[in-house]
Amino acid sequence: MSADLPEAFRGLFTGLVEQRYSPGPGDAFHRCFGCGPAPPGAAHGGIVAAYLDEILGGAVVRATGKISVTGELTVRYVRPAPTETPLLGRGRLVADHGRYVDVEGSLEEFGAARVVATARGRFFPFATAEITPGSGTL
């Protein structure tokens, strides 16, 4: 057990044995973008979620003229998102409730129109940030 571990946590880790990772081409984690050095040509789900979050946030700005923050984000992964293929994001306002807005969007392979993931989100306007739609300035 590491001497650097705070005393309060020692009891929680007593009896646990560190398992060293042995990377190899046949290991699934070796090929994972988030976990290993050799991704299999598909983006990690967290990257896909972040991209969809940006797409939905852009849809909010375009529809309302207000910069907003994400309150909720639900992502449905349809198929692996390729890393060597251009992707197209689409987003649209579903409902404006005043204090918040609901948006939805998708991420698809550009040119093939194959959806790789969809998302729904609830965004809350950032109180002091407002822009003129299309101007790109605060």
| Whether residue 135 has pLDDT greater than 80 | no
Considering the domain delimited by 45-130, tell me its CATH architecture: Roll (3.10)
pLDDT in tens, 75-110: 999 999 998 889 999 999 999 999 999 999 999 999
* 12-21, 53-62, 67-76, 93-102: the lowest-pLDDT one: 12-21
Closest Cα partner for 43 from 31, 53, 55, 54? Answer: 31
Give the C-alpha separation, 79 to 83, whole Å.
12
